[in-house]
Chain A
Amino acid sequence: MWLPVLGLLIGLLLGFMSEIRIPDEYTSYLSIAVLAALDTLFGGIRAQLQKTFDDQVFITGFFFNILLAAGLAFLGVHLGVDLYLAAIFAFGVRLFNNIAVIRRLILSKNTKLEATERKNL
């Protein structure tokens, strides 16, 4: 159970420690990768709460989304169309959706718990 948390901490640490500079034209890739990762993580949490979590889908989705987003941004750069905006938009909408669903699920769970507690009283 502590292993994923440890992984997260190591990842954060590595990210802060790394002194690699990437050229300015690749910052859009980075931002898109961040969005994709966050989206997948929140999607996984939502799925977990909805009890439809599938680790295969989660893992493939995580890496595939990142790669797809980066590829889209790459294509956009080379076509002269800001396609990474589309990716940002899609991921942003999904991020908000997922967070809203999570919030509602947590809220409904809490009210259910309160109701059962009242019943018990």
Chain B
Amino acid sequence: MKVRGKHAIYSLVLLVAGFIISYSFQYTSQADKRPTNDQWKREDQLRTSILSLQRENRELQNELEDAQTVVNDMEEKIATQEKRSFNMVEEVKKLRKVVGEVGVEGPGIRVELEDSSYIPETENPNDYIVHEEHIRKVIHELYVTGAETIAINGQRISKTSFINCVGPVVNVDGVKHPAPFVITAIGDSDVLWNSLNLSGNVTDQLVDDGVEVKMKRESSIEIPPFINREG
């Protein structure tokens, strides 16, 4: 009986020892396995995510290249369009200048017509003042010799303008102008000058009609846009 009791105690001791040993063995083996397993899994995950990201990056890069080519094409198209529209704009500007929608500046000639300062008592004073036909004559002559833009007293003349006489003043497009009349014309000032001064031409005729004519070549004349007073 005593031997059996001893054996029971020994068996208890060995049980505890065996438990501790096997438990710690199992614990450490699990603990060793778990993190490495996790680590490996994590590494694998990270690698796959890197790979997928790289693939995505490549795809995105391809997309970017495609988009860039599209943008390039568009830019080229726009550039050609712009060139064309630029040309058109230039043309429109030129046409506007011609039509009179915008102000113009350039070299030209300036003709001043004034009533004669000396009117003999016996004569009709009507023969010594500037009439509409004098102005018309000058304007016609200027147009014929290549004037691009003409203005009377700073008022632009267009293709629809009219000039008529109302008593002592001249009516240009509904605006009355008293003497002196300053006709400015943009164009080749030498040509204009010479043509006006041809002997027997406009200047001589005007002088014959008793109009005082002053002419001057200008390097820069500014003419405002035409304002349609009828519209």
Chain A positions within 8 Å of B, measured between CB atoms, are: 1, 3-16, 18, 22, 24, 27, 30-31, 33-34, 37-38, 40-41, 55, 58-59, 62-63, 66
With a cutoff of 8 Å between Cβ atoms, the chain B residues found around residue A8 in the complex are 11, 14-15, 17-18
15 interchain pairs (CB within 8 A)? A4-B11, A4-B13, A6-B11, A7-B11, A8-B17, A11-B16, A12-B22, A16-B23, A38-B17, A38-B21, A41-B13, A41-B17, A55-B6, A55-B10, A59-B13
Q: Assuming the A-B contacts A22-B27, A27-B27, A55-B6, are A15 and B13 also in contact, with contact meaning beta carbons closer than 8 angstroms in the complex? A: no
**Pairs A-B, 8 closest by C-beta atoms:** A11-B18, A15-B22, A7-B11, A15-B23, A11-B15, A7-B15, A11-B19, A8-B14
B27 touches A34 (CB 8 A): no
Give the docked Cα–Cα distance between A38 and B20 (Å). 10
A4 touches B10 (CB 8 A): yes
Q: B10 is contacted by which of A7, A10, A31 (Cβ under 8 Å)? A: A7
A7 touches B14 (CB 8 A): yes
Give the docked Cα–Cα distance between A31 and B28 (Å). 10
Give the docked Cα–Cα distance between A34 and B6 (Å). 23
Q: Assuming the A-B contacts A55-B6, A59-B9, are A4 and B23 also in contact, with contact meaning beta carbons closer than 8 angstroms in the complex? A: no
Give the docked Cα–Cα distance between A38 and B18 (Å). 10
Would you call B86 an interface residue if the criterion is a C-beta within 8 Å of the partner chain's C-beta atoms?
A: no
Q: Assuming the A-B contacts A55-B6, A59-B13, are A7 and B18 also in contact, with contact meaning beta carbons closer than 8 angstroms in the complex? A: yes
> Whole-angstrom distance from the CB of A23 to the nearest CB of chain B?
11
A37 touches B22 (CB 8 A): no
A14 touches B19 (CB 8 A): yes
Give the docked Cα–Cα distance between A18 and B4 (Å). 29
New contact pairs (10) apart from A5-B11, A7-B11, A37-B17, CB-CB < 8 Å: A6-B11, A15-B24, A15-B26, A18-B26, A30-B24, A37-B16, A38-B21, A41-B14, A62-B17, A66-B20
With a cutoff of 8 Å between Cβ atoms, the chain A residues found around residue B98 in the complex are none
With a cutoff of 8 Å between Cβ atoms, the chain B residues found around residue A11 in the complex are 14-22
Give the docked Cα–Cα distance between A12 and B8 (Å). 17
With a cutoff of 8 Å between Cβ atoms, the chain B residues found around residue A1 in the complex are 7
A7 touches B12 (CB 8 A): yes
- Interface residues in B111-135 (C-beta closer than 8 Å to A): none
> Whole-angstrom distance from the CB of A112 to the nearest CB of chain B?
27
Q: B20 is contacted by which of A3, A6, A13, A33 (Cβ under 8 Å)? A: A33
Q: Assuming the A-B contacts A30-B23, A31-B24, are A15 and B10 also in contact, with contact meaning beta carbons closer than 8 angstroms in the complex? A: no
A30 touches B20 (CB 8 A): yes
> Whole-angstrom distance from the CB of A43 to the nearest CB of chain B?
12
A9 touches B18 (CB 8 A): yes
Give the docked Cα–Cα distance between A16 and B9 (Å). 22
With a cutoff of 8 Å between Cβ atoms, the chain B residues found around residue A37 in the complex are 16-17, 20-21
By CB atoms of chain B within 10 A, which of A6, A7, A38 has the most? A7
